[in-house]
């Protein structure tokens, strides 16, 4: 029987609704045009008139275009000494938002910050995530307030100051400042001063995402509320229960530490077990991933503790059997072998669970080895009850004045209605928000704070580690730094800058200029290590209630808690796992979707659609789409925070649904009273990757450490072609002549073992190369403009070997290969793909106008001004990395993101052309940086140093997965990598001879 042709698709994403009679099921918009047929025929304009108008207007347009516009050149009146127009100036600064700290090097051009690089602070290395990378665009957000507001209308600072000081003086009840954890020591001291001036002043700390469980558990275990710092680089065995530590758990610096101990060249790697419910970035990178239900997590942790007690010859706590006892037994044995070199963590919001985790780490002797109680992380500190108490205080009319600093409780509280009610009882509400959000829209006064890139500041993210924040641009609007506002309201005349310098001089160091230049000041921690004091018995009755359906709320690396929801770069950054942009959705396991009759499917243009469901938690119901996520545990649903903002600006408004309304009791795991039901309706997703598996091809090569140690080329079998010369490498059978190599040969190495798939490089590429944002509709049509994408592939249970062994036919085999493995055995790999700069480039040979050509430095050039937009090159590119400008994104009101207003345009890199409609574009390997470094070397009459030239993606990559350099230089890092037995070329069989090569992924699975 003839097998009916199947469309290229993926798991359960069945192709439906394809009108087989008509290839194009979207009709041409003729009707819209003919709608006015009557008016057209009634018009007095005849065909001849029309031709006359046409002739006149084209002649007029031609004549008008002959006149060249007059361009003005306006120099400074008094040029600042450090600015040379045309050359960048770098400043050390730092970032702290959504409880994430990042150490930065800010690149400015003519006084405008345009790119953020990690300054690699010496304590924990990098730690700049995608949101931090993108925050430079938030500076130029046109939604920012231009002036202070009083009752939603613009006013002056004088009015604000006069009235607020009056209110503060007259207040008899509490004055409250609601803020997330403040890690600025000088601001803290300023607040203390404010307290002494206004005795009824209170500070309530409210972190949007609560880490109360870890803080409280440490209080129980060590007698102090603190968050320790973790050393993943010193851990040989890592067990995580639902903690997404490579992306969103406590500190983004973990990813760098983690990969430091994951280099197979060192002869050893850490082994990482991940027990989790959803598929996270961390789970995708784990050596063994075990999908379990949320309510099972406590059982598994206790079982593990029990096994360890057994190994330690201590009294058992009598736990019940789990489904994965064999795996837990293995984990316990390995942990016991790696005592003092292991790490066990949990993302649970249950204090009891974190106490057990502490007990296990104590039992294994990990404290002061892989977990430090002397150096604390200061980024979280809030107590969950504080905000609840504040609400009741406001309800009881105990609060006169409330001020909101960097928080948005009306959006982020699960019970925001009762908060709004309580808020209405407060007479004076002040917000320091820099743009209108859900909370500040309800405030009487909005005193816009400056963006962090316009502000002075200091931060103390870790014990003994002090960093400064310095302005890199004058405030764009009539906004004022919070600290200056507080000083003013205290009746002081000095400004915060002086206050900060004094504070720094008196408390930190007298060498201000050095800290400012280096960006940090580091002291040895004076803390003594804390003593483990927990003596209570851990018993086995702390199990959480389980139900058929449980909901886990999670953070996406792109949007986070939604503070930057109006940032179009982040909205368009695909989720690392689902590859969906501009959306959040309910993730569900394939098996459960089948049981509930929920589907995802592709429409004829390849775009993904999905069913809608109503999800109810307790009394609240939200209608949202479902996304079928392989690898997710059966019985668990996932929903991302940060979406569903209603008051945020043009890009983020009403994108997705608000998961915070389910964030009951500040717990990311909701296990009770959850109902899901299918409702009519179809949701349209904008997903950048619709294929799930590699279909048996060697796109991402992978091996296991044990095999690698035996044979470093394991998993990296050389592809050989059968030919008249026998079996030869593809490069030995070539139609083309080799290029001359006598200047440089730019190569890039990408270590798939170090890439965690986080996506920071994608945002950095946008910033560096003026890549436009195209919006949901265009992404849905596969017209996304990312020059660099990260492909995610799932493993499949079917391989060619199995098919051969079991005698499965080819059709059946490929059909099965489309399906990702089931949840238990699913493995995930990531692969960043940009232009491979092929030395036998398929795109170059098909361009009819030679707009894409090869350079003698090994780069594949794309010349926009020569391109006529045939798209042959895009069609002929086997890597699908070429992007076509369907529209003039930079000046088109249809694409009203950042490139269309004067403010958003300020983020553009002046060294890179803003591409116009109808031309092809792609990765250039940041040729502007290559040319600049070459020029610098020529000017300084020296050779180029290895590492001097860095592509934006390389600089953004915290884990060091990307290495760029000159392969003509025998000693360069990239030349060394090229000889590494793990290195291979992508789709080598086509003999495109790329300048980019990949290094095999190595997992450390138990053999």
Partner 1 sequence: MNSLLSSFVKNVIVVFLFTTCLSTFLYSQDIALGESLYKANCASCHYLGPEEKKLIGPGLNDEIFEEHTIEWLYKWIRNSAELIESGDKVANELYEEYNKAVMTAFPHFSNQDIDNILEYIRVGPPEVTASNEQVTTSIEGSESNTSLYIILSILLFNIILLVHVKNTLKNAASVERTNFFASVFYWLKANPSVIVFASILIVFSGMKGCWNTLSTIGVAQNYQPEQPIAFSHKIHSGDNGIDCNYCHHTARSSKHAGIPSVNVCMNCHTYINEGAITGKEEINKIYEAVGFDPNTRTYIPNYDQKPVEWVRIHNLPDLAYFNHSQHVNVAGLECQTCHGPVEEMEEVYQYSKLTMGWCVNCHRETEIDTDNPYYHDLHKEWIDKYHGEEVTVDMIGGRECAKCHY
Of 5, 20, 47, 72, the residue at the interface with partner 1 (CB under 8 A) is 72
Nearest-angstrom CA–CA distance, 201 and 196: 8
* Residue placing its CB nearer to partner 1 in the complex, 59 or 935: 935
State how far Cα 977 lies from the chain centre: 28
Give the bridge partners for 115, in sequence order: 107
The β-bridge relationship of strands 465-469 and 608-617 is unpaired
* Residue placing its CB nearer to partner 1 in the complex, 84 or 727: 84
Interaction of residue 937 with partner 1, rule CB under 8 A: yes
* Residue placing its CB nearer to partner 1 in the complex, 650 or 854: 854
Beta carbon of residue 111, minimum distance to partner 1 (angstroms, whole number): 13
Q: Which of 276, 383, 287 is nearest to 334 (CA)?
A: 287
Beta carbon of residue 257, minimum distance to partner 1 (angstroms, whole number): 36
**Cα dihedral 847, 849, 851, 856 sign:** positive
Number of residues binding to partner 1, judged by CB under 8 A? 47
Reduced to 3 states (helix: H, G, I; strand: E, B; else coil), residue 435 is strand
Nearest-angstrom CA–CA distance, 33 and 52: 22
Q: Which residue stretch of 72-80, 388-396, 432-440, 624-632 sits at the interface with partner 1 (rule: CB under 8 A)?
A: 72-80
Interaction of residue 317 with partner 1, rule CB under 8 A: no
Nearest-angstrom CA–CA distance, 114 and 136: 7
Q: Is 586 exposed, middle or buried (0-12, 13-18, 19+ CB in 10 A)?
A: buried
Longest dimension (CA), the chain: 101
Beta carbon of residue 862, minimum distance to partner 1 (angstroms, whole number): 7
Interaction of residue 945 with partner 1, rule CB under 8 A: no
* Residue placing its CB nearer to partner 1 in the complex, 864 or 872: 864
Interaction of residue 743 with partner 1, rule CB under 8 A: yes
Beta carbon of residue 941, minimum distance to partner 1 (angstroms, whole number): 5
Report yes or no: 557 and 601 within 8 Å, Cβ to Cβ.
no
* Residue placing its CB nearer to partner 1 in the complex, 420 or 934: 934
Of 318, 722, 941, 979, the residue at the interface with partner 1 (CB under 8 A) is 941
* Residue placing its CB nearer to partner 1 in the complex, 197 or 854: 854
Of 935, 945, 947, 1006, the residue at the interface with partner 1 (CB under 8 A) is 935
Beta carbon of residue 856, minimum distance to partner 1 (angstroms, whole number): 5
Task: Give the footprint of partner 1 on residues 826-865 (CB under 8 A).
Answer: 851, 853, 855-857, 859, 861-865
Interaction of residue 7 with partner 1, rule CB under 8 A: no
Of 931, 945, 947, 1006, the residue at the interface with partner 1 (CB under 8 A) is 931
Report yes or no: 610 and 650 within 8 Å, Cβ to Cβ.
no
Q: Which of 194, 169, 163, 113 is nearest to 450 (CA)?
A: 113
Report yes or no: 158 and 77 within 8 Å, Cβ to Cβ.
no
Task: Give the footprint of partner 1 on residues 132-161 (CB under 8 A).
Answer: none
* Residue placing its CB nearer to partner 1 in the complex, 363 or 930: 930
Beta carbon of residue 972, minimum distance to partner 1 (angstroms, whole number): 13
Nearest-angstrom CA–CA distance, 856 and 745: 8
Interaction of residue 979 with partner 1, rule CB under 8 A: no
Give the bridge partners for 401, in sequence order: 175, 428
Of 4, 23, 742, 801, the residue at the interface with partner 1 (CB under 8 A) is 742
Interaction of residue 73 with partner 1, rule CB under 8 A: yes
Task: Give the footprint of partner 1 on residues 857-916 (CB under 8 A).
Answer: 857, 859, 861-866, 911-914
Backbone phi and psi for residue 812, each to the nearest 5 degrees, phi listed first = -65, -40
The β-bridge relationship of strands 608-617 and 600-602 is antiparallel
**DSSP assignment letter at 919:** -
Q: Which of 751, 757, 769 is nearest to 980 (CA)?
A: 751
Q: Which of 482, 476, 566, 404 is nearest to 146 (CA)?
A: 476
Q: N- to C-terminal Cα distance for the chain? A: 43
Interaction of residue 682 with partner 1, rule CB under 8 A: no
Task: Give the footprint of partner 1 on residues 75-104 (CB under 8 A).
Answer: 75-79, 84-87
Beta carbon of residue 129, minimum distance to partner 1 (angstroms, whole number): 28
Interaction of residue 63 with partner 1, rule CB under 8 A: no
Nearest-angstrom CA–CA distance, 103 and 106: 10
The edge-to-edge listing of strands for the beta sheet with 983-984 is 962-966, 746-751, 996-999, 983-984
Report yes or no: 177 and 203 within 8 Å, Cβ to Cβ.
yes
Beta carbon of residue 861, minimum distance to partner 1 (angstroms, whole number): 4
Beta carbon of residue 439, minimum distance to partner 1 (angstroms, whole number): 39
| Interface positions with partner 1 (CB under 8 A) | 66, 68, 70-79, 84-87, 742-743, 851, 853, 855-857, 859, 861-866, 911-914, 924, 927-928, 931, 934-935, 937-939, 941-944
């Amino acid at each position: 029987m003839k097998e009916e042709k199947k469309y290229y698709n993926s798991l359960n994403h069945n192709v439906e609704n394809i009108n087989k009679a008509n290839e194009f099921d979207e009709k041409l918009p003729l009707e819209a045009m003919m709608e006015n047929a009557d008016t057209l025929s009634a018009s007095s304009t005849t065909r001849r008139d029309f031709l006359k108008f046409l002739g006149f207007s084209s002649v007029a347009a031609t004549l008008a275009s002959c006149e060249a516009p007059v361009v003005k050149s306006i120099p400074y009146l008094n040029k600042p000494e450090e600015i040379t127009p045309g050359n960048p100036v770098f400043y050390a600064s730092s970032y702290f938002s959504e409880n994430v700290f990042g150490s930065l090097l800010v690149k400015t051009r003519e006084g405008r910050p345009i790119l953020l690089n990690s300054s690699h602070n010496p304590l924990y290395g990098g730690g700049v995530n995608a949101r931090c990378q993108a925050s430079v665009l938030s500076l130029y957000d046109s939604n920012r307030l231009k002036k202070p507001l009083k009752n939603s209308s613009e006013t002056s600072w004088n009015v604000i100051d006069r009235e607020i000081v009056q209110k503060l003086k007259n207040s008899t009840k509490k004055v409250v400042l609601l803020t997330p954890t403040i890690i600025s020591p000088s601001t803290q001291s300023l607040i203390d001063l404010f307290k002494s001036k206004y005795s009824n002043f209170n500070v309530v700390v409210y972190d949007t995402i609560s880490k109360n469980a870890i803080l409280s558990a440490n209080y129980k275990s060590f007698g102090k509320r603190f968050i320790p710092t973790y050393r993943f680089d010193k851990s040989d065995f890592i067990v995580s229960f639902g903690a997404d530590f490579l992306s969103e758990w406590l500190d983004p610096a973990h990813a760098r530490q983690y990969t430091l101990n994951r280099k197979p060249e060192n002869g050893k790697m850490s082994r990482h077990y991940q027990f989790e419910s959803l598929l996270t970035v961390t789970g995708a990178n784990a050596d063994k991933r075990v999908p379990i239900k949320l309510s099972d997590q406590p059982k598994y942790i206790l079982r593990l503790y029990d096994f360890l007690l057994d190994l330690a010859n201590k009294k058992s706590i009598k736990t019940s059997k789990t489904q994965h006892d064999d795996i837990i037994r293995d984990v316990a044995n390995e942990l016991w072998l790696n005592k003092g070199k292991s790490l066990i963590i949990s993302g649970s919001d249950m204090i009891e669970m974190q106490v057990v985790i502490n007990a296990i780490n104590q039992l294994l002797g990990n404290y002061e080895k892989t977990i430090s109680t002397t150096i604390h992380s200061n980024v979280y500190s809030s107590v969950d009850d504080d905000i609840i108490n504040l609400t009741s205080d406001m309800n009881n009319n105990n609060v006169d004045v409330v001020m909101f600093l960097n928080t948005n409780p009306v959006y982020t509280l699960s019970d925001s209605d009762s908060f709004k009610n309580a808020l209405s009882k407060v007479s004076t509400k002040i917000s320091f928000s820099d743009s209108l959000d859900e909370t500040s829209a309800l405030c009487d006064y909005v005193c816009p704070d400056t963006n962090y890139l316009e502000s002075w500041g200091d931060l103390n993210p870790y014990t003994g580690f002090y960093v400064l924040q310095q302005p890199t641009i004058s405030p764009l609007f009539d906004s004022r730094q919070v600290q200056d506002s507080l000083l003013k309201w205290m009746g002081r005349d000095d400004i915060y800058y002086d206050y900060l310098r004094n504070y720094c001089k008196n408390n930190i160091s007298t060498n201000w200029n050095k800290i400012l230049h280096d960006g940090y000041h580091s002291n040895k921690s004076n803390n003594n290590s804390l003593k483990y004091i927990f003596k209570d018995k851990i018993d086995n009755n702390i199990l959480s209630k389980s139900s058929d359906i449980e909901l886990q709320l999670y953070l996406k690396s792109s949007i986070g808690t939604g503070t930057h929801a109006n940032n179009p770069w982040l909205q368009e950054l695909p989720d690392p796992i689902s590859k969906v942009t501009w959306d959040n959705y309910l993730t569900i396991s394939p098996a459960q979707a089948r049981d509930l009759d929920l589907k995802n499917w592709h429409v004829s243009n390849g775009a993904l659609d999905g069913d809608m469901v109503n999800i109810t938690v307790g009394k609240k119901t939200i209608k949202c789409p479902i996304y079928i996520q392989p690898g997710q545990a059966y019985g668990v649903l996932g929903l991302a925070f940060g979406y569903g903002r209603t008051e945020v600006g043009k890009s983020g408004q009403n994108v997705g649904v608000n998961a915070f309304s389910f964030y009951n009791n500040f717990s990311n795991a909701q296990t009770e009273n959850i109902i899901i039901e299918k409702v009519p309706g179809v949701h349209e997703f904008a997903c950048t990757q619709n294929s799930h598996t590699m279909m048996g091809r060697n796109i991402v090569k992978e091996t296991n450490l044990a095999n690698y140690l035996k044979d470093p080329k394991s998993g990296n079998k050389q592809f050989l072609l059968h030919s008249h010369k026998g079996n030869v490498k593809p490069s030995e059978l070539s139609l083309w002549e080799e290029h001359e190599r006598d200047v440089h040969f730019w190569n890039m190495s990408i270590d798939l073992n170090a890439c965690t798939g986080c996506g920071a490089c994608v945002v950095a590429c946008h910033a560096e190369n003026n890549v436009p944002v195209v919006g949901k509709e265009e992404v849905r049509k596969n017209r996304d403009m990312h020059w660099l994408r990260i492909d995610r592939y799932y493993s499949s249970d079917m391989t060619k070997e199995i098919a051969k062994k079991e005698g499965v036919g080819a059709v059946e085999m490929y059909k099965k290969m489309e399906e990702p493995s089931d949840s238990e055995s699913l493995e995930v790999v990531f692969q960043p793909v940009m232009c491979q700069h092929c030395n036998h480039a398929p795109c170059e040979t098909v361009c009819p106008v030679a707009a894409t050509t090869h350079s003698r430095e090994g780069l594949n050039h794309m010349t926009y001004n020569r391109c006529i937009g045939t798209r042959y090159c895009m069609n002929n590119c086997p890597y699908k990395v070429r992007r076509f400008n369907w529209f003039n994104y930079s000046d088109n009101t249809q694409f009203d993101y950042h490139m269309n207003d004067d403010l958003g345009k300020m983020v553009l890199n002046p060294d890179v052309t803003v591409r116009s409609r109808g031309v092809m574009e792609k990765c250039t390997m940041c040729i502007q940086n290559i040319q600049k470094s070459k020029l610098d070397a020529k000017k300084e009459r020296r050779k180029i140093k290895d590492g001097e030239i860095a592509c934006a993606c390389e600089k953004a990559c915290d884990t060091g997965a990307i290495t760029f350099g000159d392969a003509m230089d025998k000693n360069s890092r990239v030349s060394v990598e090229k000889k590494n037995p793990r290195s291979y070329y992508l789709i080598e069989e086509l003999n495109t001879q790329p300048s980019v090569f990949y290094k095999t992924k190595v997992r450390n699975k138990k053999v």
